[in-house]
Chains A and B, each alone.
Chain A
Amino acid sequence: MKIEKIVQLLDAKILCGHHRIHDEISKAFSSDLMSDVLTLDADNILLVSGLANVQLIRTAEVADIHYLVIVRNKKVTKDIIELATKLNIVLIESPFSMFKASGILFANGLDPLF
């Protein structure tokens, strides 16, 4: 699924990484628990999270995750966007709940990681 389709499906907004909207991903994982994200044996996935903090970006960096959707209408601060931009991470914000966002993506063909 292309990033631009994800943005459209989740009524979302790209905060940084606009140049990567044509990138394609096939799997996603949803979690607020960075400890769980750090145990994943996969890269190049979409991470859906309700966390809007620096730790989310740092976790994505070390776990080789380049696409993040921040759900629940969390306000993303400038420093978080700056760090994501520096690390070439696509940051997307959606007003939907994690359940709704995950359900829509799954129903439209994005596979779960496991």
Chain B
Amino acid sequence: MIELKFRIEGGDFDRAGTASSETKKVLKQLNIDPKVVKRMVVALYEAEVNVAAHAWRGEVTVSVKDHQILAVVKDEGPGIADIGRAMLEGFSTASPKVREMGFGAGMGLPNMKKNADELKVESTPDVGTTVTMIFDF
């Protein structure tokens, strides 16, 4: 089994995406189907951007084992008040600063759901959010 860990700081958009970038390199080295790699890194990048945009800090853990990639993105932050609404395309609570950078269109969680084979979102207000994604290959 291979396990990768990365830290994300809230508000640090310059570094958001480095976990996805490093993960992509490793998955390519493992000769995993490029279509699966793309689905995985797009979903992970969306999750990273969400942490940078909404949370105080977070941690990404990616494990590869037995034809499956597991990604857990756990953050400390304000949490998601209504996960059902957050899953709707177009629903967003992102700041104007985040929108100026090209994000915050309310497509993050729906896009993670589209790309992952399984997605679980757990959140506690004022504590944080954990996004778990599984990708089969």
**What per-residue 1/0 map shows which CB atoms of A18-41 lie under 8 Å from chain B?**
000000000000001111111100
Among A35, A37, A56: residue with most chain B CB under 10 A: A35
Task: Indicate if the CB atoms of B42 and A63 lie closer than 8 Å.
Answer: yes
Contact A35 B42 (CB under 8 A): no
User: What sequence of 0s and 1s flags, for each residue 4-29 of chain B, a beta carbon within 8 Å of any chain A beta carbon?
Assistant: 00000000011011001100100000
Contact A64 B17 (CB under 8 A): no
Contact B102 A39 (CB under 8 A): no
- B102 with A32: CB separation less than 8 A: yes
Using CB atoms, name the residue of chain A closest to B38: A64
- B103 and A62: CB pair below 8 A? no
Q: Check if A38 sits within 8 Å of B101, measured CB to CB.
A: no
Q: Does A43 contact B (CB under 8 A)?
A: yes
Contact of A51 with B21 at beta-carbon distance under 8 Å, contacts A58-B45, A62-B42, A64-B38 already known: no
- Interface residues, chain A, with chain B CB atoms under 8 Å away: 32-39, 43, 49, 51, 53-56, 58-59, 61-64
B residues engaging A (CB < 8 A)? 13-14, 16-17, 20-21, 24, 34, 38, 41-42, 44-46, 49, 101-108, 111, 114
The 22 sampled A-B contact pairs (Cβ below 8 Å) are A33-B102, A33-B105, A34-B102, A35-B104, A35-B105, A35-B106, A35-B107, A35-B108, A37-B102, A38-B107, A39-B111, A39-B114, A51-B101, A53-B101, A54-B14, A55-B49, A58-B17, A59-B102, A61-B24, A62-B20, A62-B21, A62-B38
Closest 5 pairs between A and B when the two form their complex, measured CB to CB: A58-B17, A34-B102, A35-B105, A35-B107, A62-B45
